[in-house]
Amino acid sequence: MKIVIINYGAGNIQSIKFAIKRLGYEAVLTDNVEEIKSADKVIFPGVGEASSAMAKLVDSGLDTLVPTLKQPVLGICLGMQLMCNASEEGSTEGLGIFNVDVVKFNNGVKVPQIGWNEISDLKSPLFSDIKDNAHIYLVHSFYAPICDETIATSGYGINYSAALQKNNFYGTQFHPEKSSKVGEQILENFLSI
């Protein structure tokens, strides 16, 4: 199986590579369009700020490539947020894959939300063998509200989308690569979709 991690200068690449390796696979880090198109699975990572991350995608032409991909694609954290219509962070226009706008927590909670939280309302093969209220690891100040494409929720003062899915596109607000056994199972599930 050919697994590609899209390289556009986003953080958390090494931890994703190590998590994939623990599952017995190798992942290639690349920004090469043909290599990304030919992958069996694509991981779209992200740690950082939305507008500068989107600018890097635009500079490399990856902003037009990602929405056209036909194989399973997993956006992680900022990667998921960039797959949405827009983000309040830096007034950023997104890739428009998920029909929701990303907004900042403004309900009196401390931001960023850092640490372990529960996911529930699990609705996808991505969560096979995962129990409701399993714990996952998050670091974020912005979130996607619950929408038609929500496949898992989490709460931080309000309930929000912990994961999204539309067709072959999946997104997790949390970091499966840092979420211990639960995250490992979610990555394994993604690779078997």
Q: Is 77 a catalytic residue?
A: yes
Both structure tokens of 175: 């970091």
> If you count them, how many residues does the chain have?
193
Pairing of strands 84-87, 98-104: parallel
Neighbours of 52 (CB within 10 A): 13
Output phi, psi for 127, to 5 deg. -110, 25
Neighbours of 121 (CB within 10 A): 16
Pairing of strands 84-87, 73-76: unpaired
Q: Is 177 a catalytic residue?
A: yes
For residue 173, give the nearest of 157, 185, 189, 186 by alpha carbon.
Answer: 186
From the candidates 89, 140, 149, 175, which is the catalytic residue?
175
From the candidates 77, 89, 149, 188, which is the catalytic residue?
77
From the candidates 84, 89, 140, 177, which is the catalytic residue?
177
Q: Which residues are catalytic?
A: 77, 175, 177
